[in-house]
Structure 1
């Protein structure tokens, strides 16, 4: 990695708090960083936002396990959290435990105020079958919003290649939904690049990826993807829904 190619004037510009994250500044930073290795994008975030003010959202999918490795290389003190909907695949929890042991890192569990049983009592059983948007809001979006209130920036595994709703993601941008800086270090990486990184570094990953699950969420709402289908076709099959609301819907 060649840090010298990165504009120091942009990357180390420390503006006053009121103007630090103006859209134009973030656009300049994104332009400067988009051709950098994801580790350098993470490094910028940790240095500029602060190690205690930035966090990685980890779903334990293949993009995120790569990011865990990168974050740990930059600064192992960065908080890493996961949204435990209580409906995750057993394999997802196993990857969590493998990564925790490998990096000697405790992942922060973030969950809904309602258990699955309490949700069923209030909204009816298997809400995900009737209103997946509401289920995602209760089990993912609202817990995420609450957790992010303690940070000024978050790191995600979004890539432009994943779906049309993510095709314009920048490596650094302002997140209007949650009111903080959003880093997408893998935005311009292709699938093969992510897997090459995982294999090169021997990073544990979810075995469901080897069973035609390119995108893994909650087990009631995730199925294997058929040949030729969109990588996210296995999420919320039967609905027009393609996002859980974490990356495309303002939360007020």
Structure 2
């Protein structure tokens, strides 16, 4: 049974803490059970920098879908070299990828939302579940500004799909605040951000956006869905926890 009163109490404790202090508190409360998933986006690079500089005992991992941009792989290498962190990489199940491609086609995610979500599940959601297994706190780089789907999120909430507490330390940060941090701390970032790529995922599913477009417009631009891959789906439980 989930004790919602304890979740609410802890949520209130971290709500107004700066990211480093919030993460430090959770590391003290859940020793050895706090992990951070980085997609190497600008928000995630900020969190990686904080974890490294503050020497926080947070396990850092990333998901290699097999279809990332070259620039993303290069950034991963540069990040590991700069911070000396052991960033674990999780990969999709080979059999599942082979079966999907054989039955649906290598680029079948363009054909339907169902196909795209199936591809995302195989390449991202299932590996994420393996990475989170056995842990109690999942740190993410989500910001409320990024999409309408994220405006109702809280800094600390229960993720029912993964049965874990999710902490979003940058939730109330603006784009300007994030960019100022990156500049001030010389945080390495993906050069694609300077070419109009705001949200960077798999290469076939990401395009640059035009000035004034929604930040998520460049993801799965050919469909009119909620622009999520399933990693951060909200449920009634998550909203009310």
TM-score (norm: length of structure 1)? 0.86
Residues 110 and 143 of structure 1 are in contact (CA less than 8 Å); yes or no, is this contact kept in structure 2? yes
Please state how far the C-alpha of 1:142 moved relative to its aligned partner: 1.0
1:81 maps to which of 61, 71, 86? 61
Find the partner of 2:222 among 223, 227, 238: 238
SS at match of 1:86: coil
Q: Deviations over 1:78-134 (max 9, x none)?
A: 211111001001111111111100111121111110275554124322132222111
2:94 is paired with a residue whose SS is coil
Aligned-residue CA RMSD in angstroms?
1.7
Gaps of 5+ in 1: 1-17
- CA distance in structure 2 between the partners assigned to 1:124 and 1:249 by the alignment: 29
**Is it true that 1:54 corresponds to 2:39 in the alignment?**
no
Of 26, 29, 32 in structure 2, the residue corresponding to residue 45 of structure 1 is: 26
Check whether the contact 1:42–1:74 (CA below 8 A) recurs between aligned residues.
Answer: no
Cα separation, 1, equivalents of 2:54 and 2:165: 18
- Partner of 2:13 in structure 1? 32
Q: 1:36 Cα deviation (Å)? A: 2.0
1:22 corresponding residue in structure 2 = 3
- How far residue 213 of structure 1 moved from its aligned partner, in angstroms, is 0.7
Distance 1:143 1:245, change over 3 A: same
User: In 1, distance between residues paired with 2:179 and 2:208?
Assistant: 19
* Residue 233 (structure 2) aligns with: 248
Cα shift at 1:74: 3.4
| TM value normalised by structure 2 | 0.90
Q: Which structure 1 residue ranges, 4+ long, deviate > 4 Å from structure 2?
A: 115-118
Q: Contact conserved, 1:158 with 1:169, CA < 8 A, in 2?
A: no
Q: Please, which moves more after superposition, 69-78 or 151-160?
A: 69-78
